[in-house]
Structure 1
């Protein structure tokens, strides 16, 4: 292992229930009801891609950018108002990786300003060498593009990178990039198929960095 790459939503912050709630409320205002099964298939994709999906499917009178901006403004306010903290085990893991001199990055489907907001609010920005947003990449997860770009920025061969993911789309992206993937079975991320991951954990503290390839 020469680098460790984190997804953010559902891995660093337990945000999937918040995202789901906001999107469902917006759609409900337009008389659209989405069941969890359909929504869970979209986890790991960029917000713009998710909103584009619903706009196209239901012919909504908005742009993906308008819906994404409104969504993310609510999301940042929610983090502050509810004093959210990192998922249990994340801070100790960051400390262990830093002490082992492993370069770290975030490769998230969220917009860059939201990634920056989360890591600064949680006071963990000092750990990460790069913050990469899927909004700046042509193909969203499950395409491997974001992970290949992150490896290139880190100047590390993809096969020497370890990724921590909580979604089917994210784990597919990591594996198709040629990386070792740890699947985090976060119950708040829905019933995700993590079968492509190399190992599956139920809590972050289960990660032993000395046993990673």
Structure 2
């Protein structure tokens, strides 16, 4: 693929900015076991990472009650987050502060586009141990179709005033990478809980081991304005 100039960057949050997907797996596993759903395999838990209520409903026929357990976990998520990560910044994924500082320095605008509740996004970002300056914060709970649909990324591009083709999406999930492709955006996969399958590999642009390596990508592709 031919790289275009990057005018703006769009961050996913869970598993990309913060180590919340590892946290979620532990929280959800415990809640399932306590509510008579110990038979739910870890593969289903992984498939539900980042899902909104519309996609969660797809699992209800196989495991009745799983949706209610998920809703309770989402309601209790913030309290669990602060117990799981007892000090500010302890949830940060490697390179987060460095990359955001770089974007600020280069005056490259960025947005956060997450399936999480807006108040959770804001609370988690406030707990990062440094000041973030996103130009826009978008929550999937505000009516956007769930990833892999491109809606939330296209809305982020609009909020950033950038052409989708010149937006770089940072994601750790298959659905996020597919959504970036459908939005006709560039994408970088930062591995967290999943390994790319064939469908995902066909559409992603680049892979970095952590967020700090995104800086090298921007520099080497001549994408810095």
- Bucket of the pairwise TM-score, normalised by the shorter protein: 0.7 to 0.9
Kept in 2: contact 1:142–1:169 (CA 8 A): yes
Matched, 1:31 2:36: yes
Corresponding residue of 2:3: none
Deviations 1:120-173 (A, max 9, x none): 111445321111111113411111111011111112111110011011111111
The 10-residue stretch of structure 1 (125-134 or 86-95) with the greater mean CA deviation from structure 2: 125-134
Give the TM-score, by structure 1 length: 0.86
Matched, 1:121 2:130: no
Alpha-carbon distance in 1 for matches of 2:94, 2:63: 38
Kept in 2: contact 1:109–1:134 (CA 8 A): yes
Kept in 1: contact 2:20–2:91 (CA 8 A): no
Corresponding residue of 1:198: 205
Alpha-carbon distance in 1 for matches of 2:55, 2:87: 25
| Distance 1:71-1:95 versus aligned 2 partners, 3 A rule | closer
CA RMSD in angstroms, aligned pairs only: 2.4
Corresponding residue of 2:26: 21
Give the superposition deviation at 1:118.
1.0
Kept in 2: contact 1:163–1:181 (CA 8 A): yes
Deviations 1:93-129 (A, max 9, x none): 1111111111111011111111101111114453211
1:69 equivalent among 36, 51, 75: 75
| Distance 1:19-1:143 versus aligned 2 partners, 3 A rule | same
Kept in 1: contact 2:115–2:140 (CA 8 A): yes
Give the superposition deviation at 1:50.
5.9
| Distance 1:152-1:54 versus aligned 2 partners, 3 A rule | same
Alpha-carbon distance in 2 for matches of 1:22, 1:108: 19
Listed as ranges, the gaps of 5+ residues in structure 2 are: 1-5
Alpha-carbon distance in 1 for matches of 2:141, 2:82: 17
Give the TM-score, by structure 2 length: 0.82
Kept in 1: contact 2:15–2:172 (CA 8 A): yes
Listed as ranges, the gaps of 5+ residues in structure 1 are: none
Alpha-carbon distance in 2 for matches of 1:28, 1:192: 28
2:64 equivalent among 50, 55, 59: 59
1:10 equivalent among 7, 10, 15: 15
Q: How many residues matched? A: 210
Kept in 2: contact 1:23–1:71 (CA 8 A): no
